[in-house]
Amino acid sequence: MTAADERVAESSQRDDGRSRNVGALLERFALLGAWGVVIVVFGILRPDTFLTSSNFSTIFGSQAVLVVLTLALLAPLTAGDYDLSVAATMGLAAMTLALLNVNHGWPLAAAIAAALAVGVVVGVINGAIVVFAEIDSLIATLGTSTFISGVILWMSDSQTISGVSNTLIDAVVANRLFGIPLAFYYGIALGLVMFYVFEYMPLGRRLLFVGRGRSVARLTGIRVSRLRWAAFVASGAISAFAGVLYVGTLGSADPTSALSFLLPAFAAAFLGATTIMPGRFNPLGSIAAVYFLVTGITGLQLLGVQTFVQQLFYGGALVLAVALSQFARRRDAASAGAA
Amino acid sequence: MTDAAAPRVEIRGLSKSFGGTRALRGVDLTVLPGEVHGLLGENGSGKSTLIKVLAGFHDPDAGELRVDGEPVPLPLAPGQFRKLGMSFVHQDLGLVESLTVLENLRVAELAVPSSRLRISWRRERARARETFERYGLRLDPTATVAALKPVERALLAIVRALEEIRAVGRGHGLLVLDEPTVFLPREGVDRLFSLVRSAAAAGASILFVSHDLDEVREITDRVTVLRDGAVVSTVGTADTSETAFVEMIIGRQLAALTEPVHADLSARKLAVSVRGLSGATVRDVSFDIHAGEILGLAGLIGSGFEEVPYLLYGARPARAGRLEVDGDAFDLTGMTPTRANQARLALIPADRKTDGSVATLPVGENVALSVLDRYFNGVALQRRRMAQETRTLLDSFDVRPSDPTLPYGALSGGNQQKALLAKWFQTSPRLLLLDEPTQGVDVGARAQIFELLRAAAAEHGMEIVCASSDYEQLALLCDRVIVFGRGRIWRELSGDEITKERIIEQSYAAMAADVEGVVA
C-alpha cells in the first residue's frame, strides 16, 4: 500500500477528509492529465506527423540531457539552495570530455571519468562558497556559472570540438531499446535512484528538513552544512553526467549552447514540484514536467509555429509553475491556520 | 437611530463550520460601551474564528450582528469593520519596521488616493506629536519602528487603531486586541493596560482576546469564556475566582494545578553537573542536577537564564564551560547539536515555528525526524512501520487529532508542543532542556505537559532543565529554581520557597542588587 492509498483509506472515516484527499489526488496527477490532453490535441491536429513512433522517439531521446540536468537541480533545491551553475558545469564537462578525447587522444572511459571529476570539483567549490563563506547561493552560483563559461571559452579557444569517439554516440543515441535511444533510460534510471534516496532513505528526509527548516534540522542534530555541501557536489556530478550525454547526443562539444538549458531545467524542476508529490521537488514529477514541456513545444513546432515559441513556453511555464506552487502553499497555510 | 444605552456590539447565534468541524455554535456576545470585555478560551475554542467573522475574513453560517443597536447584515465585506467603527490590533501588530513611526501612524490615510498631492511632513509630524500627547505617550515620530522597544510598538499600534476609529466619526467604536501582550515584559504590559484603561474611560469598548488568565482578570470588566466553539458563560470579572475561570476554560476540575509538589531530591545522587559556563550573557555559572530532578531557570529577560539550555546543547557558542552527564564529560566550547544529540541530550526550543518544527510538513515526518535511523533497515525506510508507530506515539501523548499525515501547522499550540515532546521522548533523552515549554499553549494542554514532564522525571529518572519567564509555570513544575541576575546565579529556591511571588521578587531583587553593585 502506498502513502496515497493510506491517505485515501484514512479519509473514509471523515467526510471532509475524503474531499480533501480527492482534491489532493487530482492535484497530484493534474500535470499527467494535462500531458495527455496535449498529446490528444496535437494528435488530432497533426495525426500524420505528431502521432508517429519516430516523433515520440525524438521527444524521449533528445531531451534526456534536459531530464538529467533538471534532476541535478533537485538536491540543492530540496536543501534550500539554488544552483545556477548547473548548465555551465554541464558545458564544462562536455568540453573537457571532447578536448581530452579528441585533441589529447585520451581513451573514452578516462575522458568521461575526468569530465565527471570536473563536475565534482565545481560542486565542491560551490558548496564551500555557499556553506563556509556564507554567501547567498543565488549570487555565489551566478558568479561561478559566469566564471565557468569564461573557462570553457578559454580552454576551447571558442571552437566547437567534434569527432568524439563513436562508442559514446552509440551508447547514448544511436543504440535503441524499444525504439527509444538509450539516453532516455539513463535519465529514467537516475530519476528512480533519486526518488529512492528522497523517499526511502533517511538522507532524503534529512535533506528535506534542511531545506524547509534549517534551524529545526540543526537542533535535531542533523549536520546541516555537510548536507548542503553534499547537495552541491551531487548537483555538480549529475550536471557533468548531463554533459557526457550532451556530447554523446551531438557527437561534439560547443562552447556556449549548454547555457540555454538552464531556464528549461528550472522550469521543469518547479513544474515538477506541482505534481506527483505536490509541494516538494521530486524526481518523478520533474521527469514528467520535462516531457510535458517538450511535448508541447514539439507539437507547436509541428503546427508550424516559429522557434521563438520555445522561449515563450519555458519562460511562461517557470513563472506559472512557481505561482501554482505558491498558491498551494498559501492554501495549506490558510487551512492550517483556520483552527 | 443610535441609542445611548444600546450595546456597542451585539452578536446573536453566530455559527460557523469548517468542513465537518463546528468552530462556532450559536455564540452570543455583548460588548457594552466603555467596557473592557475579555474573550477567554483554549486554542481552538473559537476565539480567532469569532474575531475573523467581525473582520469580514470568514462568512458565518448563521447569526445576527447589531452595532450600536442597528442591525448589520452578515457576512461583513472585508474592510467593512472600519466603517462600523471597529479596529483590530493583532499579535503581530501590523507595523512596517523599516518605516518611521509617523509613516506607520498615517499609513491608512497615505494609502487613500488623497485630495492633497503633496504631503506636508512638517504638519504631519506636529499632528502626530499632538496625538501622542493626547494619549500620554512620548514617541518620536521620525524614529523608525525597528528602533522602538516592543512595548512602544504595541502602544503605537493601539494608538493607530484608536485614531482610525476616531476618524470614522461613529462614536467611540470597538477596539479588538488579539493577544497583544505575548511578546511584552511585565512592565510593558502595565503601560499597555493603562492606555487601554484610559481609552475605555473615554468611552471606547475593548474586546481583549487572550489566554493569559492573570492579564484578563486584571484588565477586564466582564469576560466571555468559549469552549469547543460555544459560550460557557459571560461573567463579571470581579465576581469570579481564578479556579472558577480555569474550570470554565477546560471544562473540568484540575487538582494538579493547585497543588504543586516540590520534591526534595538533594539526597539523590548528582546526575548532571555544569561548571564554569560562559556564553553571551552568562558568566562562569555552575550548578548540579540530581537524578530525576526538574530544575527551573528564572530571572528577568536579559539576565542570561534563557540562553543556558542553548549553550548546554551547543545550539549557541559557549565561551567556556564543562558539562557532565552520568559520568560523560563534554567541553561546551566544542559542543554542537549533533554531539549533544549523540550524547542523548534533547532541546525543545521556545520558538516552535522556526526552531521546533516545519509547519508545512506532516506531523509524522516532524516527529520521526529524531529517530529516522531506527526505521532504516540498511536498504529502505520502513515507512509503514514508521507511520504506525508514530500514530501510536501521538495517541499516547494525547496529540489531537493523532493523524500523522496532517501538516504540523494545522495542530493547535498545545498539540504542537505535545507532538514535540513525543518527538524527543522517543529518543529517551538523559537530559531534557526546555525553553518556555508552554508558550502559546492553552490551560488544558499545559496541565498535560506538566504531567508528562513530571512522569518522565519521576518514573524514568530523566533530568529536566526548564528555562522560563512564566513564573507560575516554574512554581508548578519545578523541584528547584535558580534565579539569574546579570549573567550570574543570584539565588536558589527549593521546597516551599518555590512560589510565583517569590520567584518574581527574587528576579527583580537580582537586578536591583546588580545595579547597586555597579554603582558601588
Is the torsion defined by CA of A30, A33, A39, A44 positive or negative? negative
Q: How far apart are CA B205 and CA B86, in angstroms?
A: 9
Spatial contact of B303 and B486, defined as CB atoms under 8 Å apart? yes
% of chain A with per-residue pLDDT over 90 = 43
- Give, for A62, the enclosing helix (H) or strand (E): helix A53-62
**Residue from the list B43, B376, B410 with its beta carbon closest to the beta carbon of A336:** B410
Chain B contact set for A325 (CB, 8 A): none
CB contact under 8 A, A213 and B357: yes
pTM of the model: 0.73
User: What is the model's pLDDT at position A11?
Assistant: 34
Highest mean pLDDT among B36-40, B86-90, B208-212: B36-40
Nearest CA in chain B to A221: B338
Q: Residues A5-27: pLDDT tens digits?
A: 333 333 333 334 445 566 677 77
Is the predicted pLDDT of residue B20 greater than 90, yes or no? Answer: no
Q: How far apart are CA A337 and CA B308, in angstroms?
A: 32
Is the predicted pLDDT of residue B352 greater than 90, yes or no? Answer: no
- The model's confidence at residue A236, banded by pLDDT at 50, 70 and 90, is very high
Highest mean pLDDT among A117-126, B77-86, B161-170, B351-360: A117-126
Nearest partner of B157 among B122, B184, B123, judged by Cα: B184
- The model's confidence at residue B160, banded by pLDDT at 50, 70 and 90, is confident
Is the predicted pLDDT of residue B185 greater than 90, yes or no? Answer: no
Chain A contact set for B366 (CB, 8 A): 216
User: What is the model's pLDDT at position B518?
Assistant: 44
User: What is the model's pLDDT at position B264?
Assistant: 72
CB contact under 8 A, B387 and A209: no
Helix then strand then coil, in percent of chain B rounded to 5, is 40, 25, 35
User: What is the model's pLDDT at position B23?
Assistant: 80
Nearest CA in chain A to B47: A339
- Write the CA distances from B465 to B292, B429, B432, B437, B482, integer angstroms: 11, 12, 6, 11, 10
User: What is the model's pLDDT at position B463?
Assistant: 92
**Residue from the list A14, A220, A339 with its beta carbon closest to the beta carbon of B370:** A220
- Give, for B294, the enclosing helix (H) or strand (E): strand B294-299
Average pLDDT over chain B, rounded to whole?
84
User: What is the model's pLDDT at position B92?
Assistant: 73
Which of B311, B405, B435 best probes binding to A when mutated, by most A CB atoms within 10 angstroms? B405
| Interfacial A residues in 198-217 facing B (CB < 8 Å) | 199-202, 205-206, 208-209, 212-213, 215-217
| Poorest-pLDDT segment among B218-222, B415-419, B439-443, B448-452 | B439-443
Highest mean pLDDT among A308-322, B157-171, B224-238: B224-238
CB contact under 8 A, B381 and A216: no
CB contact under 8 A, B18 and A338: yes
Chain A contact set for B377 (CB, 8 A): none
Domains parsed from chain B with CATH numbers: 9-95+147-253 (3.40.50.300), 254-344+430-520 (3.40.50.300), 354-427 (no CATH)
Q: How far apart are CA B308 and CA B289, in angstroms?
A: 14
A220 touches chain B (CB under 8 A): yes
A13 touches chain B (CB under 8 A): no
Which of B49, B369, B371, B383 best probes binding to A when mutated, by most A CB atoms within 10 angstroms? B369
User: What is the model's pLDDT at position A16?
Assistant: 41
Rounded to an integer, the average pLDDT of A63-91 is 94
ipTM: 0.79
Q: How far apart are CA B13 and CA A72, in angstroms?
A: 57
- The model's confidence at residue B221, banded by pLDDT at 50, 70 and 90, is very high
Q: Residues B23-33: pLDDT tens digits?
A: 888 999 999 99
| Poorest-pLDDT segment among A98-112, A295-309, B258-272 | B258-272
Tell me how close the Cα of B213 comes to any Cα of chain A, in angstroms: 21
Tell me how close the Cα of B374 comes to any Cα of chain A, in angstroms: 10
CB contact under 8 A, B405 and A10: yes
Q: Chain centroid to CA B489: how far?
A: 26
Is the predicted pLDDT of residue B519 greater than 50, yes or no? Answer: no
**Residue from the list B44, B359, B372 with its beta carbon closest to the beta carbon of A206:** B372
Q: Residues A145-184: pLDDT tens digits?
A: 999 999 999 998 888 888 888 888 887 877 788 878 888 9
Q: How far apart are CA B269 and CA B96, in angstroms?
A: 53
CB contact under 8 A, B405 and A333: no
Of the two residues B302 and B336, the one the predictor is more confident about is B336
A14 touches chain B (CB under 8 A): yes
Instruction: Tell me whether strands B328-331 and B320-325 are parallel, antiparallel or unpaired.
Output: antiparallel
User: What is the model's pLDDT at position B182?
Assistant: 64
